[in-house]
Structure 1
Amino acid sequence: MEKFCCFSSASEVVGGQASSRSGKGKSDEGEIKYGFSLVKGKANHPMEDYHVANFINIKGHQLGLFAIFDGHMGDKVPAYLQKHLFSNILKEGELWVDPRRSIAKAYEKMDQTILSHSSDLGRGGSTAVTAILMNGRKLWVANVGDSRAVVCRGGKAIQISTDHEPGTERASIEYRGGFVSNLPGDVPRVNGQLAVSRAFGDKSLKTHLSSEPDIREVAVDSNTDILILASDGLWKVMSNQEAVDVARRLREPQKAAKELTAEALRRESKDDISCIVVRFR
């Protein structure tokens, strides 16, 4: 599955993967360019974010594959997702017939596999936001957790993904037998531990967590300028519109991605910060 990962020996390497690079594909209206930037946070642990950013041609179709995987309690789960999630989405050919079902099945299978291999992968977990660009015309965006996908149409930021936070999914967590803590000075957490309500892995909390993705279909039309995928290290300190404004100002998507991660650092984001910018026009 390494063909889905976009690394470069000339790029700075963080956490075992390239931290910055660009690439491009094609649509009926010209080139589609992308760039990404990954920056390790200030926490005292190795980089736990992983990504996919690449174009592939398969069965006469061009697919743009983009993802951010934000790990917690180790980097083995996001690294595993980086290598295997898209291959599972594509494996049975169902993507061309029923994209929503294909993506949902792959997410479920990945979670089950991660849980069953916890002796090797550990008891940690990962959020995910993924985007599949089909022939430059249609996006299928899915996510679990609080990494986010935002598109720009006519200069306006539109959030595509759903932030899965314990405070907003309290009823589901409590129905599963868990609880949501609300300690002063802290964010809501599942059983006082995890700050997201959906994730891959997290074996000790799985009975109280969901790994079901929210899935959205988005048409890419002449007004669609930019797609941004980023981990919560960016979104904790920057609004959707602020991120879009930066990406629009810098026409090269790699420069835009690097500026977004740099700005998040300037705003004192403490988390790992990962960002992919795709420019359609």
Structure 2
Amino acid sequence: MISKVKAALANIMGGSGASSSQHSTPVANGSVVPSRHLPERLAVKFPFERPSFLELTPEELQLAADHIHRPVITPPEGRRLLWNAGYAEVINAGKSQNNEDQACCEVVYVERRDDDSRRNSFSSTEDQEEEVSELFFHHWGLFDGHAGPGAAIMASKLLHLQICDQLRDIVDILQKSSVPPPICLSNEVKTQSGPQAEESPTDEDRVLTNEAACRFHQEKQVSHESLVIGAIENAFKQMGCLVRKYHLLSCITSVSTFSVGGTHIGTREMPEYSESFCAQAVQQGGFLVIVCELGSTTSPQDQQIEHKRSTYHALGGCCAMAVVYLLGKLYVANAGDSRAIIIRNGKVIPMSREFTPESERQRLQFLAFLQPELLGNEFTHLEFPRRIQYKELGRRMLFRDHSMTGWAYKLIEEDDLKFPLIYGEGKKARVMATIGVTRGLGDHDLKVYNSNIHIKPFLSCLPEVRVYDLAKQDHCPDDVMVLGTDGLWDVTNDKEVADVVANVLSEYGPDHPRRFTMVAHELVLRSRGILKERGWRLANEKLGSGDDISVFVIPLGGPGTYT
């Protein structure tokens, strides 16, 4: 076992450059739509590519893949992202063949799911005549891939569509913010039949019923905000399932006619396929707008589809961070070690935290305690300050388990000689000496080196979602949200990021079209460093980031930013 662990540690920083092998259906402007029961002729793989909004030519794409000079890549002049956000990226220094980071920036329109019983349970007839059957959200995403770019590419194509699908059930509810969400969406009332139905309740029965209702049927207050959080969480879970087995889904049928800002977008009809999924991507006002009507990915037919259709696996895994702007609030969902901060009036507000073996130690240890078979008789769920030597058997040594935040002493037994579930410290901490993040998408085939011990049971796809209410804060033109993969945060702390933001923005006026792009460019440039004889070095001569680096800088203030 020791030789296995040493080999794993020796190769821990290596990466596979294999391109992804997922299948999809292309729609307008290069967006990708999954489909159920589609013919084989429509099934194509997700090829390796950089974010479409970079609009790279073949020559620029080759330049962006240069591991030696590592040029910083930004969107071309004249290409405006949502809210005039800035973006920049740089490839790694040779850790993997391709840049395994991916990014996404979309406007997504959500149409109410056609379900009369659900709609009637919440809206009166007069309300239904006045209500709008759709809403939209803005989406930015960063996906930090590892062991191949496949999972990151797939997530960048599909995660926002999964969020759209989850929001379809609550379109009417979200549009009526003054009305509490209903506990049930169905207005069906069960009726009794038989002799008991003819008996009318007595006054005593009514009193007992009312008392029981007060005691046992109290309703929790659920906010509209928590519904959106739940939708995003479920979207991540569904995305995790799709990365595991990307089945061909049924059907592109028709997309209704839509108008955005008075501009007719149009329709797309493919009547030969059964109804389940519809989507369309169009150019509107210089932005890529996706209009979709997404069917459930967990329908009863899925088991039959699994036996009838081909199955596609996404290579590797990825950390996922998604920012959703909906109805005046920013929802920041993070699963992995990417991070987001808000810089408001020069002060830093953390909007996420890293999920690493150290930060989730107790969750991992508790799972191993409950299911020791997951450890393959090679690891121990206990943590010790260092590796135990055989000669220390019978001594008392510091340890801690899943129930402890502090340390205590225990008598060392033979089982304690096994390799610890969590080994290392800081950025070097690993689960089973293999992976340094504990949340994300993919990694379903990940095993301990040269063994049959699966690591996926210890990894979670559930994000932590934090909410920032833009309407309750006053913002100046220099207030921003910064999203970055770990390539940024490994070498640049929050204060340094805030200083760079302030310095760069002071050089550009509030109306400069590329001021936030220049901030993103400078953040990536400083974190990458300068190539010297001893490698990439920062201004203070410390080691620069040799990882892929991707950064969004999203403005929060100023006229016309998010209207």
TM-score bin (small chain): 0.7 to 0.9
Higher radius of gyration, 1 or 2 = 2
8 Å Cα contact 1:164/1:196 also seen in 2? yes
Q: Partner residue of 1:7?
A: 53
Matched, 1:270 2:327: no
Question: Could you tell me how far apart the structure 1 residues matched to 2:493 and 2:348 are?
Answer: 9
Question: Could you tell me how far apart the structure 2 residues matched to 1:155 and 1:47 are?
Answer: 32
User: What SS does the corresponding residue of 1:275 show, helix, strand or coil?
Assistant: strand
User: What SS does the corresponding residue of 1:163 show, helix, strand or coil?
Assistant: coil
Q: Partner residue of 2:325?
A: 133
Matched, 1:37 2:83: no
User: How far does residue 190 in structure 1 lie from its aligned partner after superposition?
Assistant: 0.8
TM-score by length of 2: 0.45
User: How far does residue 129 in structure 1 lie from its aligned partner after superposition?
Assistant: 1.0
**Residues 56 and 117 (structure 1), Cα distance of their counterparts in 2 relative to 1, 3 Å cut:** closer
User: How far does residue 24 in structure 1 lie from its aligned partner after superposition?
Assistant: 4.6
Give the alignment partner of residue 113 of structure 1, picking from 224, 232, 242.
242
Q: Partner residue of 1:28?
A: none
What amino acid is the match of 2:550? S
Q: Partner residue of 2:555?
A: 279
1:1-281 matches, cutoff 5 A: 2=30, 6-9=52-55, 12-13=60-61, 14=64, 19-21=73-75, 23-25=80-82, 32-42=83-93, 43-56=95-108, 61=135, 63-92=137-166, 93-94=168-169, 96=171, 97=174, 98-117=227-246, 120-135=312-327, 137-177=328-368, 179-182=421-424, 187-203=428-444, 204=446, 205-220=455-470, 221-223=473-475, 225-251=479-505, 252-266=515-529, 267=538, 268-281=544-557
Q: Structure 2: any 5+ residue segments left out of the alignment?
A: 1-26, 33-50, 66-71, 112-133, 175-226, 248-310, 369-374, 376-420, 447-454, 506-514, 530-537, 539-543, 558-563
Question: Could you tell me how far apart the structure 2 residues matched to 1:186 and 1:91 are?
Answer: 36
Question: Could you tell me how far apart the structure 1 residues matched to 2:169 and 2:99 are?
Answer: 34
User: How far does residue 37 in structure 1 lie from its aligned partner after superposition?
Assistant: 0.7
**Residues 8 and 236 (structure 1), Cα distance of their counterparts in 2 relative to 1, 3 Å cut:** closer
TM-score by length of 1: 0.87
Question: Could you tell me how far apart the structure 2 residues matched to 1:270 and 1:193 are?
Answer: 19
What amino acid is the match of 1:108? K
**Residues 109 and 237 (structure 1), Cα distance of their counterparts in 2 relative to 1, 3 Å cut:** same
**Residues 255 and 57 (structure 1), Cα distance of their counterparts in 2 relative to 1, 3 Å cut:** farther
Indicate the larger mover: 45-54 or 69-78.
45-54
Deviation digits for residues 113-165 of structure 1 (CA, Å, limit 9, x no counterpart): 21234974345110011101225x31000010100111112111111012101
Report sequence identity in percent: 25
Indicate the larger mover: 210-219 or 108-117.
108-117
Q: Structure 1: any 5+ residue segments left out of the alignment?
A: 26-31
Q: Partner residue of 2:401?
A: none
Question: Could you tell me how far apart the structure 2 residues matched to 1:8 and 1:155 are?
Answer: 29
How many residues align? The count is 271
Greater share of strand residues, 1 or 2? 1
Deviation digits for residues 21-56 of structure 1 (CA, Å, limit 9, x no counterpart): 25255xxxxxx3201111101124211000012445
**Residues 227 and 202 (structure 1), Cα distance of their counterparts in 2 relative to 1, 3 Å cut:** same
User: How far does residue 65 in structure 1 lie from its aligned partner after superposition?
Assistant: 1.1
**Residues 269 and 108 (structure 1), Cα distance of their counterparts in 2 relative to 1, 3 Å cut:** same
Indicate the larger mover: 161-170 or 120-129.
120-129
**Residues 123 and 6 (structure 1), Cα distance of their counterparts in 2 relative to 1, 3 Å cut:** closer
Greater relative CO, 1 or 2 (CA 8 Å, sep 6+): 1
Indicate the larger mover: 92-101 or 53-62.
53-62
8 Å Cα contact 1:89/1:103 also seen in 2? yes
